[in-house]
Amino acid sequence: MTGTSRPTGRERQTVTNAPVQHLISSTDLTDAQLRALVERGAEFSAGKVRSGNQLAGLVAGIYFTKTSTRTRTSFSAAALRLGAGLISFGPGDLQTNTGETLEDTAEVLSRMLDLLVVRTAGDPAELRAFAQQQRMAVVNAMTSDEHPTQAIADLTTMHRHFGSIENLRVCYIGEGNNSAAALALTLSRFRGTELELRTPPGYGLHPDVLRRAQQYAQAHGARVEELHSMESAPVGCDVIYTTRWQTTGTSKPDPDWRTVFAPFQVTTALWDKSPDAVFLHDLPAHRGEDVTAEVLDGPHSLAFDQSENKMYAAMAVLEWCAGAR
At 50 the pLDDT is 85
Give residue 30's pLDDT.
97
How many alpha carbons lie under 13 Å from residue 229 in its C-beta half-sphere? 2
Are the CB atoms for 141 and 119 separated by under 8 Å? yes
The reported pLDDT for the residue numbered 249 is 59
**Mean pLDDT, rounded, for 109-126:** 90
Structure confidence at residue 246 (pLDDT): 83
* Residue 16 binned pLDDT confidence (cut-offs 50, 70, 90): very low
**Which of the four CATH numbers 3.40.140.10, 3.40.630.10, 3.40.50.1370, 3.40.50.300 does domain 9-146+310-323 have?**
3.40.50.1370
According to the model, what pLDDT value does residue 248 have?
A: 65
Helix axes 148-162, 303-323, angle to 10 degrees: 120
Residue 324 in this model has a pLDDT that exceeds 60 = no
Task: Count other Cβ atoms within 10 Å, centred on residue 124.
Answer: 17
Q: How many helices (H) and strands (E) does the chain have?
A: 11, 9
The pLDDT of residue 91: 87
Q: How many CB atoms lie within 10 A of CB 35?
A: 17
**CB-based burial, 138-173: b 16+ in 10 Å, e otherwise:** bbbbbbbbbbbbbbbbbbbbbbbbeeebeebbbbbb
Least confident piece of the model among 17-21, 22-26, 152-156, 167-171: 17-21
Which DSSP string corresponds to 243-265? --SS-TT---S-TTHHHHHGGG-
* Domain ranges for the chain: 9-146+310-323, 148-307
Residue 13 has pLDDT above 80, yes or no: no
pLDDT band for 120, please (50, 70, 90 cuts).
confident
CB-based contact 140:23 (threshold 8 Å):
yes
User: Mean pLDDT across the stretch 156-169?
Assistant: 98
Q: Which of 135, 108, 157 is nearest to 308 (CA)?
A: 157
Question: How far apart are the C-alpha atoms of 256 and 56, rounded to whole Å?
Answer: 51
Q: What is the pLDDT of residues 234-276, one digit of tens each?
A: 999 999 999 999 876 567 888 899 999 999 999 999 999 999 9
pLDDT interval class at 153 (50, 70, 90): very high
What topology does CATH give the domain 148-307? Rossmann fold (3.40.50)
Give the sheet arrangement for strand 137-140, strand by strand.
Answer: 85-89, 59-64, 115-119, 137-140
Give the rounded percent of residues in the chain with a pLDDT score beyond 70. Answer: 92
36 pLDDT band (50/70/90 cuts)?
very high
Q: What is the average pLDDT across 211-239?
A: 97
Q: Which of 87-96, 140-149, 174-183, 216-225 has the lowest mean pLDDT?
A: 87-96
pLDDT, position 14: 39
Query: Who has greater pLDDT, 300 or 18?
Result: 300
- Residue-averaged pLDDT of the chain: 92
Q: How far apart are CA 71 and CA 314, in angstroms?
A: 8
What distance, in Å, lies between the first and last C-alpha atoms of the chain? 20
pLDDT greater than 70 at residue 283:
yes
Q: Fill in the DSSP letter of residue 306.
A: H
9-146+310-323 shares its CATH topology with 148-307: yes
**Residues 255, 19: Cα–Cα separation, whole Å:** 48
